[in-house]
Amino acid sequence: MPHHDPDDSPAIISAGRAVLGIELGSTRIKAVLIGPHGTQLASGSHAWENQFVDRMWTYSLDAIWSGLQACFSALTHDTEQRYGVRPTTFRAIGVSAMMHGYLAFDGHGKLLLPFRTWRNTTTGPAAQQLSEVFGYNIPMRWSVAHLYQAILNNEPHVPRIDLITTLAGYVHWRLTGRKVLGVGDASGMFPIDCGTQDFNATMLAQFDALLAEQQPGLLVTEILPRVLRAGQDAGKLTAEGARLLDPTGTLQPGAPLCPPEGDAGTGMVATNAVAPRTGNVSVGTSIFAMAVLEKPLGRVHPEVDMVTTPAGDLVAMVHCNNGASELAAWAEVFTQFAAALGHDTAPDEVFGVLLREGLGGEADGGGLLAYNYLSGEPITGLAEGRPLFVRTPDSRLTLANFIRAQLYGAFGTLSLGMEVLAAEGVELDVMVAHGGLFRTQGVAQRLLAGALGTPVAVGQSASEGGAWGIAVLASYLAAASDMDLATYLDTQIFDGAHPVVQEPIAEDVRGFQVFLERYRAGLTVEQAASTAL
């Protein structure tokens, strides 16, 4: 990608021409400072954890603001250490956070009840009813499911609601005074009409009809934030907002902010996967794939969430609760074994050795079967998970086959969800992969290409994550009148980037299909394990 002369960095920062991106993730708040063409200049972070209060996963408002202040302080310290200057303003600022959940405020801006995060699964009845009414899949994580469940529960705060928003929308509101939301984040609150790039008017009317019966006087159209596309004006940092981020008073008001976005949207930007026929796969504790569609799907699929890019293009999301954690647990076992032999080995080195060994395994994993289900998995209909390794007497138990089966097991549920999209005629030119599993070059990438039957690319920027992605969206504010977001990313941010692309290998594709048939058949074993144990 293009770079600026690093000797210019102090001047860029002191002149207020650097761009700030902040993302509030589930375990870490991260801030990134970028220069021209997305070059990272400095960063800062703050660790935090959700709390389980009154049977709800939450973060307190105090934790949000003390965390943001600590993160911003760490960023300014890093900037001073690197360049000898402290930023007082920015060319633009962007805020991103984990999507979905429920933050409800009254007309005085007071939080009516503790923030309910996406992790809460108490909204099943509401999600099911709304999916039936709308003819549209409404996952339990979505804000509208949280709102409707509160109405079904006759919760006393409901009549007092003046605004519901997401975590990114809340932080942006406090920084700018504007009750707005980027379309990608908004698409995890309530369904979006990609024609208008706004909340779906028909479904809003259907929901208001439900409210008229159960909560007269409340109109969802009046309590949702205003939807904005990438590049649109989303307000400026106020004096109060500047003090909230930087209590020292060094930060000055006035910097423009881009529309606040969700972590799915910033992941799409960070992997340059916002144009139709592109997609990305994120592998971590969970694993999910995003596919940017050329046209809507033919029917509703409970395995697929419909969201949008930050520019408002329709995206199909396959979200699996279980990712690489079980593989990491096995890597720890082998790390302990190496230590018992007198060879203390770094975990990354053990991971690398195991993954490379997996490439030498038989194409179908030698008849072995592995499930990575530490928790339940909605796509396969399992309420609870039990990590499982099973083999038949005639299977070939070797280290190479064992590791290949574990990798295939990590991709199994994802491939079942992606089959739904393939049956709908969805085609992708490339799938961009990111996450720690891809640090070992060429292994997980090759097997994922075989599992999906799609070329898989791994680029350098994927590790820089959502804070970098929202900083790039903030930098796009200055270019939005000249080009669309996909063109901006291609020509201004990723021009000159050379991701490594792995085409599917026919033997891997055939082998994974054999494994997948075994995986489907074995789901009854996985179900029995969760019942018996």
What are 308-334's pLDDT values in tens digits? 999 999 999 998 889 899 999 999 999
Residue 173 lies in a domain: no
Helices 263-270 and 465-475 sit at what angle, rounded to 10 degrees? 80
- Indicate whether 332 and 443 sit together in one domain: yes
Whether 46 has a pLDDT exceeding 90, the answer reads: yes
What is the predicted pLDDT for the residue at 460? 65
Angle at Cα 266 formed by Cα 264 and Cα 271, nearest 5°? 100
Query: pLDDT of 262-300, one tens digit each?
Result: 999 998 999 899 999 999 998 887 898 999 999 999 999
Please check whether residues 318 and 401 belong to one and the same domain.
Answer: yes
* Rounded Cα gap, residues 44 and 33, in angstroms: 9
In a domain, 228, yes or no: no
* Residue 2 pLDDT class (50, 70, 90 cuts): very low
Return left, alpha or beta for 231; rule: phi > 0 is left, psi -120 to 50 is alpha, else beta: left
CA-CA distance, 285 to 374, in Å (whole number)?
10
The answer on 435 and 292 residing in a single domain is yes
Q: Are residues 355 and 433 in the same domain?
A: yes
Torsion of CA 283, 288, 293, 296, to 10 degrees: 180
303 domain residue, yes or no: yes
Residue 148 lies in a domain: yes
Residue-level pLDDT at 3: 53
* DSSP tag of 380: G
Q: How many domains does the chain have?
A: 3
- Please check the confidence at residue 98 and state whether its pLDDT lies above 50: yes
Query: Is residue 203 domain-shared with residue 252, that is, in the same domain?
Result: no
Q: Assess whether 265 and 370 both reside in one domain.
A: no
Is 92 within 8 Å of 99 (Cβ atoms)? no
Report how far residue 146's alpha carbon sits from residue 131's, in angstroms, rounded to the nearest whole number: 13
Q: What is the DSSP code string of 180-232?
A: EEEHHHHTTTS-EETTTTEE-HHHHHHHHHHHHHHSTT--HHHHSPEEE-TTS
Contacts (Cβ under 8 Å, ≥6 apart) of 510 = 363
For residue range 170-220, list pLDDT tens digits in order: 999 999 999 999 999 999 999 999 999 999 999 999 999 999 999 999 999
Q: Are residues 413 and 478 in the same domain?
A: no
147 found inside a domain: yes
Task: Based on the fold, state whether residues 94 and 110 are members of the same structural domain.
Answer: no
Tell me which range, 295-299, 323-327, 406-410, 429-433, is most confidently predicted by mean pLDDT.
Answer: 406-410
Query: What's the rounded Cα separation, in Å, for the pair 97 and 517?
Result: 38
pTM of the model: 0.88
> Looking at residue 462, what is its pLDDT?
41
Distance CA 347, CA 327 (A): 12
Distance CA 38, CA 465 (A): 12
Q: Does residue 183 sit within a domain?
A: no
CATH (domain of 290): 3.30.420.40
In this structure, the strands spanning 192-193 and 198-199 are antiparallel
Q: Which residue range forms the structural domain that includes residue 251?
A: 1-98+233-271+463-496
* 3-state DSSP of 423-444: HCCCCCCEEEEECHHHCCCCCH
Query: How far is Cα 92 from Cα 43, in angstroms, rounded to an integer?
Result: 16
Helix axes 399-423, 325-340, angle to 10 degrees: 170
Within-domain flag for 85? yes
Q: Residue 94 in contact with residue 478, Cβ under 8 Å? A: no
Same domain, 366 and 422: yes
Q: Read off the pLDDT of residues 207-253 as tens digits, 9 standing for 90 and up.
A: 999 999 999 999 999 999 999 999 999 999 999 999 999 999 999 99
> How open is the CA angle 53-105-108, to the nearest 5 degrees?
130
Please indicate, yes or no, whether residues 281 and 420 belong to a single structural domain of this protein: yes
Check: CB of residue 343 under 8 Å from CB of residue 334: no
Same domain, 251 and 276: no
Are 475 and 443 found together in one domain? no
Percent of the chain with pLDDT over 70: 98
Residue 531 inside a domain? The answer is yes
CA distances from 496 to 74, 460, 499 (A): 31, 12, 10
Residue 104 and residue 112 in contact, taking contact as beta carbons nearer than 8 Å:
yes
